Amino acid sequence: MRKYVILLLFLSLFICLNADYFVPIEDPVYDFLSMMENLKYLSQSEDIYPGYHADILDKLQKLKDKKLPASYQKLLEYHLERLKNEPSEGTSLAFYPFPKLKESIGEVWQPHSDKKHLATYKKDNSSFFLSGLLGLEYDIKKDDGSKLYRKREYYGLDFGGNFYDNFGFRVAFKKGHFNGDNSFIEENPDLSIMGNSFFKDDDTYYELNLNSQLDYKNKYLNLSAGYGTFGLGNTINSSIILNSTVTPYGYLKYYKKMGNFSYMGLTTQLIPDSLRNETDYKPKSMAIQTLGYTNEFISLTIGNTIIYGDRTLDLAYSTPLALYKIMDNKYHGRDNTSVFAFGKLAPFSGFSLYGNLFLDDLNKERLKTKYWATSLAFQGGVDYNCRSFPLDASFELTGVGPGVYTHKSNNIGYSNLRYSQDDELLGYEYGSNLLTFAGELTFLNKYFNVDVIYENIQQGNLANDPFGEYEKVEFLAESINRYQYLSALLEINYVPELNLSLEYKKDLQLSENYYIFSKIEFKY
């Protein structure tokens, strides 16, 4: 297995030279840019993650001409220094020449833009970087009187760059293993599933993570090929349209921005649910298209997503001229067609309203019955930013009907049309038939970030399992189960190369149940 990973890395490095690169979804720069949009220092943007490095850097450069409050100005300088990736001309190695080894070690703890990587190279318009990382994650879970733990140690590489102005790439790779209580380890959705069991050797569980993208751009489009996940729509926790917490998938993406308008198309082949290596399976693919409009006050995006089975990538679904319902009939109903919309309205500085809407096979006949909300999901919230310092408060309401994400799952032969991949929902991670209220308080600083989230979930006991038999029931039917969670996350970034994360999550219904997560990651 190791030789294949190494081969993949070298092939990526070689091939990706004809490819602007992405900035990871979890990067704190997205929260900062969202604050700048709310405060009207920037125009509204689409909520499609991850974004292109060049676009994000361009927004940061535009903010340099604005007169920002002191606390926001410090954050701007921090993100510019961290993301600009402007190495010195020629080749630079962190610990070479050896006589400067002592000096190099000292510079690890200084925010030098050309000393954040193990190696850099720059010549004319070409520049590349290579960083290594070491990490340790430790979890504690108190559940029903028992105390469980899991620990993961990992190492990895992060490398990328630009070959001229219109070619770029990025590859982020991690390899590690878990030790601890087996039942707790197997709750981790990121574990690779191989064969009939987890990737396990004796009492050790192994996990590999890889995100990559190569990109070619010109005045007509951005064309990308990559491996990873996407998020659509603004949300506190999980998007109802497309969330980024599932198993990564390989994709082809094309994107074009024309003034205030933009178009994005994405096509991918998914991993069928309950896939086992020795079992025959039906192909399962997904195509997404979005059309967006943005200005200073509003952003609005409409789109169409389709899960289709019994065939591999269908190029007909990857064009902006596809008429999905007609094609669904052509393929005898073997497609799960859904439409969605998401947007944000910022009427005045510091305040915005946002919403996400997802319609799963909705028809006009159902709108006249008591089952009108069966295949409808809505997510809406308000967001407020303090003007003088980077504190953000948001409140969100989510409602997901009992039939959302379960398209034709009660019919034999259509299980591969569920809105899922690798036994994970592509939509709202808590499932369906629920009503959720959430609140979030976020504080950003050059040295640390604090994020506090409260969630209150009410879920009906019928049709809330998208992987079970779908029954046509009313929204929040029968008995209601209620859950409350409170989580707090502290991220310390005293220097750009060292990150410490501490998260505490508590089930408010059961006073003894809690969850603690800690991570320390060193990157150079």
pLDDT in tens, 261-275: 999 989 998 888 766
**Over residues 108-129, mean pLDDT:** 69
- pLDDT score of 245 more than 70: yes
Dmax (CA) of the chain: 79
Please enumerate in sequence order all residues whose Cβ is within 8 A of that of 387, keeping only pairs 6 or more positions apart, or say none.
39, 69, 349, 350
- pLDDT of the residue at 365: 73
d(CA 519, CA 29): 20
| CA angle (416, 239, 48) in 5-degree steps | 100
Q: How far is CA 336 from CA 208, 298, 316, 391, in A?
A: 31, 30, 15, 41
In this structure, is the dihedral angle defined by the CA atoms of residues 106, 108, 111 and 113, taken in order, positive or negative?
positive
pTM for this one?
0.84
Over residues 53-70, the pLDDT tens digits come to 888 888 898 898 888 988
- pLDDT score of 18 more than 50: no
Tokens of 194: 């191989």
For the chain, the first-to-last Cα distance in angstroms comes to: 26
CB neighbour class for 73 (10 Å; exposed up to 12, middle 13-18, buried from 19): middle
CB 495 within 8 A of CB 109: yes
d(CA 405, CA 434): 13
Reduced to 3 states (helix: H, G, I; strand: E, B; else coil), residue 229 is: coil
Residue 477, sorted as left (phi over 0), alpha (psi -120 to 50) or beta, turns out to be beta
Closest of 395, 397, 303, 374 to residue 341, by C-alpha? 303
- pLDDT of the residue at 5: 39
Over residues 432-472, the pLDDT tens digits come to 899 999 999 999 988 889 999 999 999 988 878 777 766 77
Phi, psi of 35 (to 5 degrees): -65, -40
Range scoring the smallest mean pLDDT among 309-313, 348-352, 368-372, 423-427: 309-313
pLDDT-above-70 percentage for the chain? 80
**Over residues 214-220, mean pLDDT:** 83
Inter-axis angle of helices 53-63 and 29-38, nearest 10:
50
Side-chain-side CA neighbours of 268 within 13 Å: the count stands at: 24
Closest of 307, 380, 318, 316 to residue 344, by C-alpha? 380
Residue with the larger pLDDT of the pair 418 and 409: 418
Reduced to 3 states (helix: H, G, I; strand: E, B; else coil), residue 102 is: helix
- pLDDT of the residue at 7: 37
d(CA 375, CA 35): 33
Q: At 418, which amino acid appears?
A: R
**Over residues 476-491, mean pLDDT:** 87
- pLDDT score of 331 more than 70: no
Range scoring the smallest mean pLDDT among 123-127, 135-139, 408-412: 408-412
CA 301 from chain centre, in angstroms, equals 18
Using omega within 30 degrees of 0 as the cis cutoff, is the peptide bond preceding 50 cis? Answer: yes
Please enumerate in sequence order all residues whose Cβ is within 8 A of that of 475, keeping only pairs 6 or more positions apart, or say none.
373, 374, 399, 401, 402, 433, 460
d(CA 236, CA 242): 13
Reduced to 3 states (helix: H, G, I; strand: E, B; else coil), residue 468 is: coil
Please give the helix or strand (H or E) that residue 494 lies within, else none.
strand 480-495
Residues forming beta bridges with residue 207, ordered by sequence position: 176
Over residues 149-198, the pLDDT tens digits come to 889 899 998 888 887 777 888 888 888 888 888 888 877 766 655 444 46
Please give the helix or strand (H or E) that residue 319 lies within, else none.
none
Over residues 26-63, the pLDDT tens digits come to 888 899 999 999 888 888 888 888 888 888 888 898 89
Q: At 246, which amino acid appears?
A: V
